Chain A
């Protein structure tokens, strides 16, 4: 078979530097033409600033959510069918409960690593939405949402909404006493919507609360429909990020028309893979060491039972807080009841907040009349009014979150629950108006401060022969000087031929 003139070595040399890998890749490229796109992708420049990695926490906790979620879905049974539990957790032995709850208890006690997976899933969800909020705050305070990136901001707000909805759906699935109470509250919130509320609630629950189908419906929404939407939107979010390229903070060599940073391969890829493992590791540590949502202590849900001190997960906390502290106003007339004490805090308030988030880029364009393209970021102190507005909304949300634990606060500090309630009512109304001027002043002061946000240069103190001390600023660091960068150009392995102008009347497209 082998020719006398070819040796293994000569054949290897004929295959080139990357051997068979190169051969396989070439074969693929000749058929699919992936090399050019792949090259562009591998050369994508990522700014190195740490705040750009906040979004990666979101992405990687999403990955953990998908992986652990698949594991959980193998054992969870979304059914309200009543079964009698006989398992290793004795306090529930012989008790009638829904199959959903029984399977979740079994998953926690009888499935190897089941509890770890459940806790990781829950912690990952909490971290997912938490880092989403932090990432959103970064984008907001630095003005990264400005033209041309309004669409990506809109996708991001939609992702946050979907994440909160899916978090609530997942929290509801175990059908324990606490989550059942949560579903009941959600049902009441639906009912409180004027005109369509009752129809909507009956449509979603397939009849009156609790019905028999809600767990199946929540399950398929939680594991298929909402995640699929989110995956698509995450894809669009990232594709837009590649298409529109990154924003960057102003600095040496950084202009509106370039991006300074590290290429996807190898620098960013190594960094981000490490970060993926760190995020997964932190979530696994939390899942293994810190208990979350011990449903076996709560018992199965029955409409006649309720536990005190029930709160939703933290990202729903602002809604719960608003519901708790809102005065009991309602409207009865013309044979209809509109429970304003539910409609306003649980429907109108989140509607306004998310509406504001969606509308913000347009609002800001209208107010500032700034319709230019922006690829260089603001520092928060550059835009005191935007920073102050963001701080006011965050302060409102934070006080509403605290208001969701009025009972915990009252019990912990031994004060009257009524005092806490009234204090929170006042604080919720006051906090945005306190936060706004404070943030505004700080931003103004920082902006006026010379050299704020830049590296400090030391003083050189010398002593003269007469014993006099003299302080002079040290010369600037070499890398602080404003010199344009001369970065290594992106290698151009694929030489493109300029196509000839097409003849009139015909259209061609490049292969």
Chain B
């Protein structure tokens, strides 16, 4: 008990320390940059395809995970040196952040899905490597270039998960909604709009995200997001992705203007400004003004 309090005090002091806010080490050791070799998505699947002894794809009827084509390796290395090596180092193992004990993330062994997600969602290459959380932006590299970089990094130490392709056709939206409410809504909100989390981090909106990236995020856990591996089957991931790409992104939403999905705060402003104030204006018009 006492030890807990000491720990809480230490964490509190660390959180309050202005040095921490200013130092890059703070940013570099932020959970968002914590990385580790992904042991997730190891082929334990219905269908495994091999070529020259290497697994090129695996999966089941819900999701197929495919390796980036190894033919793109050379292109990938060139692109990597151009776009990524400044921070992640020429061997993708991360370089120390100047003036601190921290280092930029080591990418070796992360698996192609992670690399593909960060590049294709436009988060990498980062415009501001020291920011707490990289925001989603229009991607600077295209799909083929992302695959190429993933192929090169994967060639250093082949690892999983591969890049998922979700077969949405068999997905069940209702199961997806239930799983979404259980696993995702606590941060992304039940309407998928996302919201602010502690200390300048945020859960991004899911309104405009392609199916592959939703699956990649679930399987690899970018940034603060937990990595969902053992507790969600491929079929469940497919249901969630189907729910997100249909009902969250194209909600069947009768009842008039949605007021930005901001909930009772926006509703309150509308009720007071459009409702009460408008009716008071009518009273002002009808009544005597003196």
Contacts and interface: CB of A to CB of B under 8 A. Distances in A.
Interface of A: 47-54, 56-57, 89-95, 108-109, 115, 119, 123, 126-127, 130-131, 134, 177-178, 249, 251, 271, 274-275, 278-279, 282-283, 286, 288-294, 297-299, 302, 304-315, 317, 401, 404-408, 410-411, 414-418, 420, 455
A297 B279 contact: no
Contacts of A123: 271, 275
18 contacts: A49-B288, A50-B285, A57-B283, A90-B173, A91-B243, A91-B247, A109-B254, A130-B271, A271-B286, A282-B278, A290-B270, A291-B256, A292-B267, A313-B264, A314-B265, A408-B263, A411-B196, A418-B200
A56 B284 CA distance: 13
B190 interface: yes
B187 A308 contact: yes
B283 to A, nearest CB: 4
A48 B287 contact: yes
A417 B198 contact: yes
| Consensus secondary structure, chain B interface | helix
Nearest to A251: B290
B28 interface: no
B265 A404 contact: yes
Most buried by B among A109, A279, A309, A411: A309
A294 B177 contact: no
B189 interface: yes
Contact of B283 (A56, A108, A289, A290): A56
A199 B285 CA distance: 52
Q: Which interface residue of B251, B271, B282 has the most chain A CB atoms within 10 A?
A: B271
Contacts of B195: 308-309, 407-408, 410-411
B253 interface: yes
B197 A50 contact: no
A92 to B, nearest CB: 6
B264 A278 contact: no
A127 B264 contact: no
A343 B243 CA distance: 40
Contacts of A109: 254
Contacts of B5: none
Contacts, number: 211
A330 B70 CA distance: 59
Given A130-B275, A298-B190, A311-B264, A51 B203 contact: no
A201 to B, nearest CB: 24
Interface stretch (B40-48, B50-58, B100-108, B178-186): B178-186
Given A50-B280, A278-B279, A305-B185, 4 more contacts: A53-B286, A286-B271, A297-B253, A308-B195
B189 A127 contact: no
Given A297-B191, A308-B203, A416-B200, A274 B286 contact: yes
B74 interface: no
- Majority SS of interface residues in chain A? helix
Interface residues of B toward A: which range?
35 or more
B202 interface: yes
A310 B256 contact: no
Contact of B276 (A49, A131, A308, A406): A131
B199 interface: yes
B268 interface: yes
B201 to A, nearest CB: 8
Contact of A115 (B199, B255, B287): B255
Contacts of A302: 181
Contact of B251 (A54, A93, A297): A297
A252 B76 CA distance: 88
Interface in B232-288: 243, 246-247, 251-259, 262-265, 267-272, 274-276, 278-280, 282-288
Contact of B280 (A57, A410, A414): A57
B194 interface: yes
A306 B187 CA distance: 9
B253 A307 contact: no
Identify the 6 closest CB pairs spanning chains A and B, nearest first. Answer: A314-B268, A50-B287, A410-B196, A126-B271, A307-B190, A53-B283
Contact of A417 (B197, B255, B264, B269): B197
A317 B190 CA distance: 20
Nearest to A57: B279
Contact of B287 (A49, A307, A308): A49
Nearest to B284: A50
B279 A291 contact: no
Given A177-B185, A309-B189, A317 B194 contact: no
